[in-house]
Amino acid sequence: MFSERIERALRTAQEAHAGQTRKGLGAVPYVTHPVHVAILLARLGADDVAITAGLLHDVVEDCEGWTDARVELEFGPEVAAIVRELTEDKSRSWRERKLDGIERVKHMSVAAATVKAADKLHNLRALVADLRSGAPASAVWARFNGGRDRTLELSTQLVNELVERVDPRLGRELRAAIEELHELPGG
């Protein structure tokens, strides 16, 4: 059984991301993403703080009414610190945010790097699934600001940094996912 804090974080993620959908094919509710991140973290044996942060990792960045201070007030300073480390500055360009994210991985806490790795792993697996779905690769890649080539390049760089910081099991899964993406037709 999960802790009361994780249960509250799950409800919060569901409410905060209500009405949002994933970038992928179809109208998949956005909340499925932080839930997948939390499942990956739980499977690795992550602690309550990391799983909670996994559920909340996008709320400050993507949800109205959520701030660092609110996350800290409702979920504690450890969770807020991880969420803060993972939150992108949306005022910057896509390319700047992604390059900054790669650089930040080198200096972030192991807990934040682990949540980031689970986040990236789920995103890579979702992208692979979309490319395997039979949809035209051009339609799959069109939703990415960097297009296919730049997105693949920066995703590979991010994975390379993450595998140096996280549990080897998670690192192997990340490597396998990025390699599969590169090997797919249209990938």
Complete domains list, the chain, with CATH: 4-183 (1.10.3210.10)
The CA distance from 122 to 120, in Å, is 5
Contacts of 62 (CB under 8 A, 6+ apart): 17, 20, 30
> For the segment 134-179, what is each residue's pLDDT rounded down to a tens digit?
899 999 999 999 999 999 999 999 999 999 999 999 999 999 999 9
> For the segment 42-51, what is each residue's pLDDT rounded down to a tens digit?
999 999 999 9
- Confidence category of residue 2, pLDDT binned at 50, 70, 90: confident
DSSP 129-152: HHHHTTS-HHHHHTTSTTHHHHHH
> Which phi and psi (to 5°) does residue 91 adopt?
-80, -15
> For the segment 20-42, what is each residue's pLDDT rounded down to a tens digit?
999 888 889 999 999 999 999 99
Which of the following is catalytic: 47, 61, 72, 88?
A: 61
Q: Tell me the average pLDDT of the chain.
A: 96
Active site annotation includes 96 = no
Which of the following is catalytic: 4, 7, 58, 62?
A: 62
Average pLDDT of the residues in 68-74: 98
pLDDT of residue 187: 74
The CA distance from 43 to 56, in Å, is 18
Query: Cβ(10)–Cβ(35) under 8 Å?
Result: yes
- Confidence category of residue 63, pLDDT binned at 50, 70, 90: very high
Active site annotation includes 100 = no
- Dmax (CA) for the chain in angstroms is 47
> For the segment 75-99, what is each residue's pLDDT rounded down to a tens digit?
999 999 999 999 999 899 999 999 9
Is pLDDT at 1 greater than 70 in this prediction? no
CA nearest neighbour of 170 among 120, 130, 127: 120
pLDDT of residue 139: 92
Burial 121-134 (b: 16+ CB within 10 A, else e): bbbbbbbbebbeee
DSSP-derived secondary structure letter, 5: H
Residue whose entry in the numeric block shows the structure tokens 């991985």: 105
pLDDT of residue 34: 98
pLDDT of residue 12: 98
pLDDT of residue 25: 80
